[in-house]
Amino acid sequence: MEKVRIGDVEVWALLDFVPPPYTPENFFPTIPIEAWEVYRDDVLNKDGLLQLYYGSFAIRSQGKTIMVDTGMGPGPHPQRGNLPGNLVGFMRSVGVRPEEVDFVVHTHLHGDHVGWNVVGGKPSFPRAKFLASKADWEYFTSPDLLPKNPKVKECVMPLQGMGRLELIGGGHAITSEVSTVSTPGHTPGHMTIAINSQGEKGMVVGDLIQSVVQVMEPGWNSRHDIDRQKAYETRIRMAERIEREGIVMAAGHFPTGRHFGRIVRVDGRRYWRVEGERGGK
């Protein structure tokens, strides 16, 4: 279990599953392999591959339980090594019950962030209101793109018919301690989730920062950034803010044991400093 407290707010890191790794040049196609050498020991695995994780977060604030993103879903997933997801099981193992979730908020509507919304025609979080970006909804449900995004069709669109989906933007308050911040680029309506409690600050960054290497190199774009220039500008701006304000950052694609941390600068270079509680329930 990984957990942090930000003022009065509690945040848990939740793992759906670990997909097969990527070659660095596959995930970051514009970055030459030589540029990775300085980060090899810290970021790549023993085979020189980039391992991402499919993680979500649970937040407890002012008596409300909030899920941020919902992984790939139960699967098994043929395009991800035929592996199954286990988000709901992992939640229960750390004492967060799906039945108590009040809100599910999505940083964006890529398939690996919405997969547990609806399973077998029923919401996995039976009492929750689901919040999604209006700009992402309009983009991914357009006639040209919807056929390419089956997870949106299967796991997001049914919520609208159930009256469970609310389309929002940046600046939406979920509680007085938890709100959304517009961070477009990776997708048109990408949002980070901001926490501000008792003078302490946190952010769940979604795919604003997908790999630890982007802490050191925020100018690096992944192949999944839809608007690369805007993603670049947004990531630079937000990395500077997270560092400057001492914000605790939560990143779902980071490795287990490194989901929570701060961006710190040593001798003019940025680093990822891990923090938070780790261990059994």
**What CA–CA distance (Å, rounded) separates 223 from 108?**
16
Q: What is the pLDDT of residues 9-63, one digit of tens each?
A: 999 999 999 999 999 999 999 999 999 999 999 999 999 999 999 999 999 999 9
Domain ranges for the chain: 2-278
- List of residues 6+ apart from 163 with CB closer than 8 A: none
- Asked if the model's pLDDT at residue 278 lies above 80, the reply is no
Q: What is the pLDDT of residue 277?
A: 67
Percent of the chain with pLDDT over 70: 98
Q: What is the pLDDT of residue 281?
A: 40
**What CA–CA distance (Å, rounded) separates 1 from 13?**
7
Q: Specify the CATH superfamily of domain 2-278.
A: Ribonuclease Z/Hydroxyacylglutathione hydrolase-like (3.60.15.10)
- Asked if the model's pLDDT at residue 72 lies above 90, the reply is yes
Q: What is the pLDDT of residue 156?
A: 97
Residue 51 CB-half CA count within 13 A: 14
Q: What is the pLDDT of residues 119-161, one digit of tens each?
A: 999 999 999 999 999 999 999 999 999 999 999 999 999 999 9
When the pLDDT of each residue in the chain is averaged and rounded to a whole number, the result is: 95
Q: What are the φ and ψ backbone dihedral angles of 253, each rounded to 5 degrees?
A: -90, 0
Handedness of CA 75, 86, 167, 223 (dihedral sign): negative
Average pLDDT over residues 238-245: 96
Q: What is the pLDDT of residue 153?
A: 95
CA 96 to chain centre: 18
- Asked if the model's pLDDT at residue 280 lies above 60, the reply is no
Q: What is the pLDDT of residues 167-177, one digit of tens each?
A: 999 999 999 99
